[in-house]
C-alpha cells in the first residue's frame, strides 16, 4: 500500500494529504474541497475572534460532512513599551508616505486602534463547535488548553521548524507534528519569530524522525509524486501541500496575483519580515526591497496589523508591488483547477509512480 495509514486512521480520512492552512489565501471552499477529496482540509482561522472563527467553521460544515482541521496562531504577544509606541508612530508615518509616493491612498491605524487577540477564545469556540482536529503554528499551546482540548477529544497537530521545537511539542502531548522545511511558502512556523533556522526540509524531517515518536506530517516543497515519495521515504506519514493550491479555483488570490505566480523566477522567492514582522517566504517586490532591513519593521503581529490596510488597498488597485504574495520554492504550473481535482491528480500520480517502481 502506497499511503501510510497512521495519520489517516487517527484523523478519519482516506488519504494522508493535508491542505496547508494559508491564512489569507485559503477559504472555507478550499478546506471543504480538500476534505471532499478524502484528504484533510484546513480551515485557517489565524488570530480571528471567536465569533469570526465560529462563522467560518459553520460555513465549512455546510460545504462538507468530512473531517477538517481548524488552524490557529499561538504566537506570544509582545508587551507594548514606550520604545514600541515610538517605533509604531515612525513606521506608520514611513509606510503612509511610501504609499502616497506610489499613488496608493490609505490611512493606517493608530496603535490604540489595533486589536491583538490571544488564541484562548478560539480554543473555546473550537470546542463548542465540535471540531475534532486542531492544528496550530508559531509556538505551542499552553498546558491548560492542551488538557481542555484533549478532554474534548480534539486531535492536536503542532508545527515545528527544528528538532528542539519538535521535542517540546512531543513532551507536551501533541498528537501529530507537522515538520515545516525552509522551502515552504508563507510564514515560518518557528516559535521564536527572530530566530529562524535555515535548515532544508529533507534534513529537518530526517532529524526530527530520529528524535521523536509521534507521527509526522511534512510541509515544504511537495508539488508532485516524486517530491511526495521522497519525504515518504524519510519517514513522513502525512504530506502537506500549499504551494500546489495557490492558483486553485478556491484560492482567494486574484487573477493578477495568479498570473504573477506563473511568471516567477527562482531568484525572486525570498524570506522577508517586511510585511508582518515574522519571516515569510514569498515573491520579492518593490515594497520588500524598500522596507526590508530598515528600522520600519515592528514585531509581529503589530507590523502585520499595520500593513493590512496597505496590502488591501494595493490589492484593490491590482498593484503587485505592494501585496504580500506568499509562495514556496518549488515552482510549477500553478493549476487553476479545483482543489479537489488537483489533490485527486496528485493521489493518482503518486499511486501510478508506486506501481511503476514495484
Q: Of 253, 274, 247, which is closest to residue 320 (Cα–Cα)?
A: 253
Q: At what angle do helices 339-357 and 225-233 cross, to 10 degrees?
A: 60
Q: CB–CB of 16/215 below 8 Å?
A: no
- Spell out the domain ranges in the chain: 6-77+116-249+336-357, 78-115+265-326
Q: CB–CB of 203/221 below 8 Å?
A: no
Strands across the sheet containing 186-187 = 186-187, 280-283, 269-272
d(CA 222, CA 75): 26
d(CA 251, CA 244): 11
Q: At what angle do helices 201-211 and 225-233 cross, to 10 degrees?
A: 30
Quote the pLDDT of residue 353. Answer: 83
d(CA 340, CA 40): 11
Biggest alpha carbon distance in the chain? 64
Quote the pLDDT of residue 355. Answer: 77
Q: CB–CB of 36/62 below 8 Å?
A: no
pTM exceeds 0.75, yes or no: yes
Which string of b and e fits 26-37 if b means at least 16 CB within 10 Å? bbbbbbbbbbbb
| Residue 112 DSSP label | G
For the chain, how many residues are written? 358
CATH for 6-77+116-249+336-357 is: 3.20.20.70
What is the residue whose three cell numbers read 488570530?
Answer: 47
Quote the pLDDT of residue 358. Answer: 60
* pLDDT string in tens for the chain (358-residue length): 689 999 999 999 999 999 999 999 999 999 999 999 999 999 999 999 999 999 999 999 999 999 999 999 999 899 999 999 999 999 999 999 999 999 999 999 999 999 999 999 999 999 999 999 999 999 999 999 999 999 999 999 999 999 999 999 999 999 999 999 999 999 999 999 888 777 899 999 999 999 999 999 999 999 999 999 999 999 999 999 999 999 999 999 999 999 999 999 999 999 999 999 999 999 999 999 999 999 999 999 999 999 999 999 999 999 999 999 999 999 999 999 999 999 999 999 999 987 777 6
SS3 breakdown of the chain: % helix, strand, coil, rounded to 5? Answer: 45, 15, 40
Quote the pLDDT of residue 197. Answer: 75
Grid cell in block for residue 22: 494559508
What is the residue whose three cell numbers read 493549476?
Answer: 335
CA angle 90, 281, 248 (to 5 degrees): 120
Sign of the CA dihedral with 317 first, then 318, 321, and 323 last: positive
Quote the pLDDT of residue 196. Answer: 75
Q: Which residues pair with 229 in a beta bridge?
A: none
Q: Of 316, 317, 272, which is closest to residue 296 (Cα–Cα)?
A: 272
CA angle 111, 116, 119 (to 5 degrees): 170
Residue 295 CB contacts under 8 Å (≥ 6 apart), including other chains: 87, 90, 91
Amino acid at each position: 500500500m502506497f499511503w501510510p495509514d497512521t495519520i489517516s486512521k487517527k484523523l478519519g480520512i482516506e488519504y494522508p494529504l493535508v491542505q496547508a492552512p494559508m491564512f489569507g489565501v485559503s477559504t472555507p471552499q478550499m478546506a471543504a474541497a480538500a476534505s471532499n477529496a478524502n484528504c484533510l482540509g484546513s480551515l485557517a482561522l489565524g488570530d480571528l475572534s471567536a465569533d469570526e472563527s465560529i462563522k467560518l467553521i459553520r460555513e465549512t460544515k455546510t460545504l462538507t460532512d468530512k473531517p477538517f482541521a481548524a488552524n490557529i496562531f499561538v504566537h506570544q504577544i509582545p508587551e507594548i513599551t514606550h520604545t514600541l509606541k515610538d517605533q509604531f508612530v515612525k513606521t506608520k508615518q514611513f509606510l503612509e508616505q511610501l504609499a502616497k509616493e506610489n499613488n496608493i491612498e490609505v490611512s493606517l491605524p493608530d496603535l490604540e486602534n489595533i486589536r491583538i487577540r490571544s488564541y484562548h477564545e478560539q480554543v473555546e469556540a473550537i470546542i463548542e463547535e465540535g471540531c475534532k482536529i486542531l492544528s496550530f503554528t508559531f509556538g505551542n499551546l499552553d498546558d491548560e488548553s492542551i488538557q481542555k482540548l484533549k478532554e474534548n477529544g480534539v486531535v492536536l497537530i503542532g508545527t515545528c521548524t527544528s528538532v528542539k521545537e519538535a521535542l517540546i511539542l512531543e513532551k507536551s502531548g501533541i498528537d501529530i507534528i507537522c515538520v515545516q522545511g525552509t522551502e515552504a511558502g508563507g510564514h515560518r512556523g518557528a516559535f521564536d519569530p527572530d530566530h529562524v533556522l535555515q535548515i532544508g526540509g529533507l534534513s529537518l524531517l530526517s532529524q526530527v524522525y530520529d528524535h521523536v515518536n509521534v507521527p509526522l506530517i511534512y510541509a515544504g516543497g511537495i508539488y508532485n509524486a516524486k517530491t511526495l515519495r521522497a519525504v515518504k521515504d524519510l519517514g513522513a506519514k502525512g504530506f502537506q501541500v500549499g504551494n500546489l493550491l495557490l492558483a486553485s479555483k478556491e484560492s482567494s488570490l486574484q487573477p493578477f496575483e495568479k498570473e504573477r505566480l506563473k511568471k516567477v523566477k527562482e531568484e525572486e522567492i525570498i524570506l522577508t519580515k517586511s510585511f508582518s514582522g515574522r519571516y515569510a517566504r514569498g515573491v520579492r517586490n518593490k515594497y520588500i526591497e524598500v522596507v526590508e532591513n530598515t528600522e520600519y519593521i515592528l514585531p509581529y503581529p503589530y507590523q502585520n496589523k499595520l500593513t493590512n490596510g496597505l496590502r488591501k488597498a494595493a490589492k484593490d488597485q491590482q498593484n503587485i508591488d505592494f501585496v504580500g504574495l506568499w509562495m514556496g520554492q518549488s515552482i510549477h504550473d500553478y493549476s487553476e483547477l479545483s482543489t479537489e481535482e488537483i489533490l485527486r491528480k496528485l493521489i493518482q500520480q503518486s499511486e501510478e509512480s508506486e506501481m511503476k517502481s514495484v
